[in-house]
């Protein structure tokens, strides 16, 4: 007979262990630490095994109750495994009929999210690739923390630690939505805090040394691929917006005569409208591109069709083609490049942060923040930044400078 103390003290081994409690029931202790209640029985001369739950969600006391229920079914001539399968099938069919499976609730939640397209696409990818195949058909109210953990550890086992972490976050958001909709009582991810391996720190590689910036700019000017990709490469360091905001830019957002780019809130990560003052160099790049794509919708259309923007991999692929690895420079790295150098040059950090369109930490301040905040200073800063990049491109030795009053 098992005891709770004996179960808690039991240590995993290289191979699965069976800790017997008698009358066919035992605790299966897996090498990864998982503890599963099982019961062996015979029905019509065949040896079978019935799953009774996962410890500690199902306590020793509860497991014994389930064992006795199974033995009563056997005494009445029924196969407890078949009874379990029939009940589970009925629950699944009822959940489908009522749109209460994990996938149905998850898709309903996705439709209701007001997020940027790139965020929505990443969420859909995580759910459809990792969570729906494993949990999608199950009634959401029946999913236990251990079942979810098994799915997350399956992702973790492939080395995708960051993906496992994000999958847990997305699953939690779906469950919390289900709680609000009255479909479940609680979010099972709440009990999974700290159970996954922490992902390694991630950063967006960037070139920030002035000499290397000049080398990078000259390399980009010599890019021999698509003309639109060349212009996107050249514009990226001048405006230092997020890669998705650049590649999805549309001509109607630009006022080239007024040298301004107004990005609507729905295209911004922080869901707030953004204004990008355009340097004379940035305007020149866009005017050079106008004859090629100006009659279309996107500034940087895709290669196969102008009905879609440039691929999210295009800029990074171009940088790889120029000899810059993912550990050296990325499309997102132009933001780090600008932030690092502009701060060292002495520009107002608030103006830099506003130009980077970072979220305001102060919620009261955020409520009154306008896209045009510090616009006059940002306009001077963006032109000075473009002139600074030109000097580096031509190999000049440029000293850090303070902003003009």
In a domain, 105, yes or no: no
CATH number, position 179:
1.10.150.130
| pLDDT tens sequence across 101-139 | 999 999 999 988 877 676 788 889 999 999 999 999 888
Number of domains present in the structure of the chain = 3
Instruction: Assess whether 57 and 155 both reside in one domain.
Output: no
Please report, rounded to a whole number, the percentage of residues in the chain having pLDDT higher than 90: 66
Query: In the annotation, is 368 catalytic?
Result: yes
Does position 362 have pLDDT exceeding 50, yes or no?
no
Phi, psi (deg, nearest 5) at residue 149: -60, -40
Query: In the annotation, is 46 catalytic?
Result: no
CATH number, position 360:
1.10.443.10
In a domain, 103, yes or no: no
335, 341, 354, 378: the catalytic one is: 335
Residue 95 tokens read as 């959940």
Considering 192, 222, 248, which residue would you say is the last residue of a domain? 192
Query: In the annotation, is 107 catalytic?
Result: no
Please give the pLDDT value at position 258.
Answer: 96
Among 62-66, 81-85, 155-159, 371-375, the minimum mean pLDDT is found in 371-375
Average pLDDT over residues 390-404: 68
Cis previous bond, 56, omega within 30: yes
Considering 97, 128, 145, which residue would you say is the last residue of a domain? 97
Which residues form the domain of 380? 210-393
Query: In the annotation, is 394 catalytic?
Result: no
CB atoms within 10 A of CB 383: 18
In a domain, 22, yes or no: yes
In a domain, 203, yes or no: no
Taking the C-alpha atoms of 321, 393, 337 and 279 in order, what is their torsion angle to the nearest 10 degrees? -110
Query: In the annotation, is 298 catalytic?
Result: no
In a domain, 398, yes or no: no
Number of helical (H) and strand (E) elements in the chain, helices listed first: 17, 7
In a domain, 52, yes or no: yes
In a domain, 166, yes or no: yes
pLDDT-derived band of residue 230, with 50, 70 and 90 as boundaries? very high
15, 46, 193, 368: the catalytic one is: 368
In a domain, 202, yes or no: no
Average pLDDT over residues 387-393: 95
Among 4-8, 100-104, 266-270, 277-281, the minimum mean pLDDT is found in 266-270
Distance CA 93, CA 95 (A): 5
CATH number, position 28:
3.30.160.390
Instruction: Assess whether 368 and 237 both reside in one domain.
Output: yes
């Amino acid at each position: 007979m098992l005891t709770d103390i004996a179960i808690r003290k039991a240590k995993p081994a290289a191979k699965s262990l069976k800790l017997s409690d008698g009358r066919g029931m035992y605790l299966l202790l897996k090498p990864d630490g998982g503890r599963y209640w099982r019961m062996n029985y015979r029905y019509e001369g065949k040896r079978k095994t019935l799953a009774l739950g996962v410890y500690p969600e199902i306590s020793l006391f509860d497991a014994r109750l389930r064992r006795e229920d199974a033995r009563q079914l056997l005494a009445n001539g029924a196969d407890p495994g078949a009874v379990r399968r029939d009940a589970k099938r009925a629950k699944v069919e009822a959940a489908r009929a009522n749109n209460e499976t994990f996938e149905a609730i998850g898709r309903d939640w996705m439709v209701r999210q007001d997020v940027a397209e790139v965020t929505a696409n990443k969420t859909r990818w995580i759910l459809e690739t990792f969570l729906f195949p494993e949990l999608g058909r199950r009634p959401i109210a029946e999913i236990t923390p251990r079942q979810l953990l098994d799915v997350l550890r399956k992702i973790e086992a492939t080395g995708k630690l960051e993906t496992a972490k994000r999958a847990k976050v997305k699953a939690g958001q779906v469950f919390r939505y289900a709680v609000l909709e009255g479909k479940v009582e609680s979010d099972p991810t709440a009990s999974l805090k700290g159970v996954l391996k922490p992902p390694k720190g991630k950063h967006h590689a960037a070139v920030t040394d002035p000499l290397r910036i000049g080398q990078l700019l000259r390399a980009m000017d010599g890019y021999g691929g698509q003309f639109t990709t060349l212009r996107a490469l050249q514009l990226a360091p001048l405006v230092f917006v997020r890669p998705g905001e650049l590649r999805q830019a549309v001509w109607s957002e630009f006022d080239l005569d007024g040298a301004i780019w107004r990005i609507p809130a729905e295209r911004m990560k922080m869901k707030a409208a953004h204004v990008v003052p355009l340097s004379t160099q940035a305007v020149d790049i866009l005017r050079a591109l106008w004859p090629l794509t100006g009659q279309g919708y996107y500034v940087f259309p895709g290669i196969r069709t102008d009905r879609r923007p440039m691929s999210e991999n295009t800029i990074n692929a171009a940088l790889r083609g120029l000899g810059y690895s993912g550990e050296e420079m990325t499309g997102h790295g132009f933001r780090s490049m600008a932030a690092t150098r502009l701060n060292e040059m002495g520009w107002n950090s608030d103006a830099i942060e506003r130009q980077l369109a970072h979220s305001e930490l102060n919620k009261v301040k955020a409520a009154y923040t306008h896209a045009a905040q510090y616009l006059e200073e940002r306009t001077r800063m963006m032109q000075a930044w473009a002139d600074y990049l030109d000097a580096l491109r031509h190999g000049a030795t440029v000293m850090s400078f303070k902003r003009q009053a």
